[in-house]
Structure 1
């Protein structure tokens, strides 16, 4: 036993899980401090991995010098006992002709998920024999993480996703300062079948993209469409109410937790278009439907944000849940004047609830919030001692430039497409500089090259800019920082005329603002690129290809270089190119 391990034998060790559903991840707290967090897909190579996060757990425990027997609490990001509450809805669904055909299958599906939850708890108990099991209400895990990541001391918290047990939308008031104990009070809860995430996923699937994965593609397509064509239909499908919203089951059928049941109705299809098969041409009708969906989503999110501020009296808003990844809606909230500032955590989707669940377990045991979550996104495995041979792969050569920053900036200014793999793995769906592909927005045909030879994705999808925070106002109209690339902001005339490659069809850019404190290496690269070009702005997209997760390991990064049109990879100081 090492001395480090011996000192930790009496520590409170909380392991937080998102597992067995999608976006598998794990987070580790030791004596209330966040040690790390990793998404399993970045380590096993399976996008949106549903697996038990074995690789993430192995890395986390190894990082802390611990074993499974040292874990004192296992926090799980669902309280599966709550699935049984769906049975209480059964009589009402049986009474309505439009919901009656699905009422019993729905009830049975929720009971099936409850049984699966019980089996999963038994598996976790066997894996960590000395640990207490601590199930956490899914939306509470979202809300805790969103608030703790923000670093503010008082905020409204709005969580909007597809489904957490039975909740789909919640509004909380969170506060913590020296004068009062930590509090997270639930003000509003909207239950399934009213689910904005369900609707967005259903229409994404109808339009031929993968539900739970490619909603961002539909959001991008929306900028090319005319929402007026289907505006009335989407207003009927998602009806605003005084306290929130409801769904029309004639258009969005009652949810059954089984892929055998379609999420859109024949009436919806008749009023819109036939389902588009993946790979089929994208027609104007598809863009118009995407536009109406996006517009309705924005209306609902603005309505809910106003409700959150009225209920809590707070001028700050934290967003969590899968719908919080809709950067256009987040941008509209930020620009609307409803709130003074919004905060979206690095991992607002389900993976981030591994942190939230661990935080809840620690808070419930001690009455104190954990530390180490505020303002942190680079939380995963790092490879600072990576050594590469001169030929790390057939057809690749590696060397170490004397000045990596300026070498990278010069190559980018010359038009190279470069992968960047450095430091700890970032959390969440956006590459934030540690696992990124960088490119000059001035290079000829850069967007077409990236889409066609590297990302292998639809040509209408935009690329996001990364910019020095103190220069951001030159390029985007944004009243606050955007460190996690979570907000689409209107661009300035300078950006529109000088940097059209970073401007989407709707006149916005999903910007990442970088400070020297947050990320000195990327800040240096931006400054050096700015010295050459006059603009400290680069295109930043994730180091991966379509259908694959962000590269979490050196091998995955080298595979990406080999299999794509990337010109080079800067990996832990090594400059790797193709022979």
Structure 2
């Protein structure tokens, strides 16, 4: 192998790489956040590229050509500090901040120091001295370069003998291609929807044997939402407004939108505000797109005005209002699109498609034929960029047909049992280890059925935001206290956030009146009322559950665990949430797994057949 085909999101939230090996019919995909453990990290995916080399046993000196496709066109011309990557890395190391929350606290503490104390602190380490030199001499500001030049320079440093070829693709088209290449439908509508990307926030394509045909494009508008007490530059899109409300509610935009979605179930939409929000977009039937009324939006969403509303409204009602707004706008637009094309098979991609309640409304009101890209956010745009690049290199789409058979996105790193055992030994003073070999699924099920809460680390890591049984925390869905226990004692997150079930596919018709075989936790469904009390920790307050239906071929070990749960409890159902402490990303290495295990109140960890528990003190 002398050529690498890499799709990437090189800068901005959810930086990632997606690598295709056409001859081996395999892929490797990883988000940078899994390696840095900074959620939605925007640092260049240098760590991801090094991890690719390590886990694929690639000698970088032997690579003669690197084809790198970035999932943005406009970014190539944007200007950045030449030492941006090095400066961010140095700051994290100097502040000794392994996680994002640690960095924020340490950065605030640093800012509170006097100038003399800051200098003294920085002089305490080599990295600090370098950082101080950059700051005092202004070297990090003296040289800037276009992102394309920075990309080439950093990639070249990793592959010294390679010809670096860069391609830049339209952001929305990248989202669409990630849907087309994995869609189960021969003919469908692909709908992208996010905050913004290369001039638009949504594109609709007809996907068939001829390829992708653009149907409609909704242009992005920048909003200036200023106020005396602060300002907020808003994204003029439905998802951008949701992003804004996330900020208004005191959560972190580009990360906590799921909290707004969860909170909305406890509230009631405020009719006047909802009407105002719905009036911000007009359906242009001629151009087949949504059009933002910019002047009206800047008046309605003015920061001072919205701040006063936040002070007078219940947070639950504010969340319910923006959630209902998003659902109604997208449902009405898709209703028009379906009516115009006559096509009812729908694929969704883009960050807004992470909203499982919006997806549920589309499923219930418009079509039973729905597919949501598992990596729907900007990491998934790297997936589409990789596909576009391969096609541009003359590789026929039909020769990539094997990708559609890779239904489950287990495309990340993995660790051999012996390697795991050696790594566990470094924690021998804190943990006890027993070898369960290939029997661990049944043992895990027994422990969960007895009331224990544990974690799984097996096989290749998931691609996308959902844990799908390879990096998961698991618990008994029958236990009404699981939600509070996991939220409060293990995940350390708000108590209103729900957990999602993994279940045998054979349970679908039994537990749900209307659902489809969703294997990726990308759509919620309404559980039958008679089962909600039986499985209280698997459903939210509104009776919905974001389900992963599991078949044996998807994940044999996880399937066995669920089968054993059914034998023990009568339900092939388990609570499944991502294996991480709140504020951290899903664990990637065995060391990550042990640290998060020790930093929580988990009872056990099954890691490649090794059962880990805490060492008891005498």
Return the TM-score normalized by structure 1.
0.84
Structure 1 residue 135: Cα displacement: 0.6
Structure 1: runs of 5+ lacking an equivalent: 1-7, 85-113, 177-181, 255-261, 275-282
Q: Deviations over 1:378-416 (max 9, x none)?
A: 000001232145673532111112521211011000111
CA distance in structure 2 between the aligned counterparts of 1:560 and 1:523, rounded to whole angstroms: 25
1:378 corresponds to = 410
Superposed counterparts of 1:408-427, under 5 Å: 408-427=444-463
Structure 1 residue 268: Cα displacement: 3.0
The answer to whether 1:152 aligns with 2:190 is no
Structure 1 residue 241: Cα displacement: 4.8
SS of 1:51 mapped into structure 2: coil
8 Å CA contact 1:250, 1:265 repeated in 2: no
2:237 corresponds to = 195
The answer to whether 1:364 aligns with 2:399 is no
Count of aligned positions: 519
2:610 corresponds to = 574
Structure 1 residue 55: Cα displacement: 2.6
Superposed counterparts of 1:65-144, under 5 Å: 65-67=58-60, 69-80=63-74, 116-123=146-153, 126-127=156-157, 129-144=162-177
SS of 1:489 mapped into structure 2: strand
Structure 1 residue 65: Cα displacement: 3.0
SS of 1:187 mapped into structure 2: strand
CA distance in structure 1 between the aligned counterparts of 2:334 and 2:64, rounded to whole angstroms: 42
TM-aligned CA distance change 1:505 to 1:187, over 3 Å: same
Superposed counterparts of 1:405-484, under 5 Å: 405-484=441-520
CA distance in structure 1 between the aligned counterparts of 2:77 and 2:146, rounded to whole angstroms: 11
8 Å CA contact 2:246, 2:253 repeated in 1: yes
2:304 corresponds to = 266
1:245 corresponds to = 290
2:357 corresponds to = 328
Structure 1 residue 57: Cα displacement: 1.5
CA distance in structure 2 between the aligned counterparts of 1:220 and 1:494, rounded to whole angstroms: 22
TM-aligned CA distance change 1:284 to 1:496, over 3 Å: farther
CA distance in structure 2 between the aligned counterparts of 1:381 and 1:407, rounded to whole angstroms: 25
Q: 2:599 aligns with which of 563, 571, 579?
A: 563
Q: Deviations over 1:86-129 (max 9, x none)?
A: xxxxxxxxxxxxxxxxxxxxxxxxxxxx9743444443564454
1:218 corresponds to = 260
2:35 corresponds to = 43
1:111 corresponds to = none
SS of 1:449 mapped into structure 2: helix
2:47 corresponds to = 55
The answer to whether 1:350 aligns with 2:375 is no
Structure 1 residue 306: Cα displacement: 2.1
TM-aligned CA distance change 1:65 to 1:149, over 3 Å: same
8 Å CA contact 2:200, 2:219 repeated in 1: yes
Structure 1 residue 250: Cα displacement: 5.2
Q: Deviations over 1:246-284 (max 9, x none)?
A: 444456449xxxxxxx985323334x224xxxxxxxx96
Q: 2:348 aligns with which of 313, 316, 319?
A: 319
SS of 2:445 mapped into structure 1: helix
Q: Deviations over 1:394-452 (max 9, x none)?
A: 32111112521211011000111101110000011111110000000123511110010
Q: Deviations over 1:171-200 (max 9, x none)?
A: 011123xxxxx5111111111114112111
TM-aligned CA distance change 1:557 to 1:503, over 3 Å: same
The CA RMSD over aligned residues, in Å, is 2.4
SS of 2:213 mapped into structure 1: strand
Structure 1 runs of 4+ aligned residues shifted over 6 Å read: 81-84
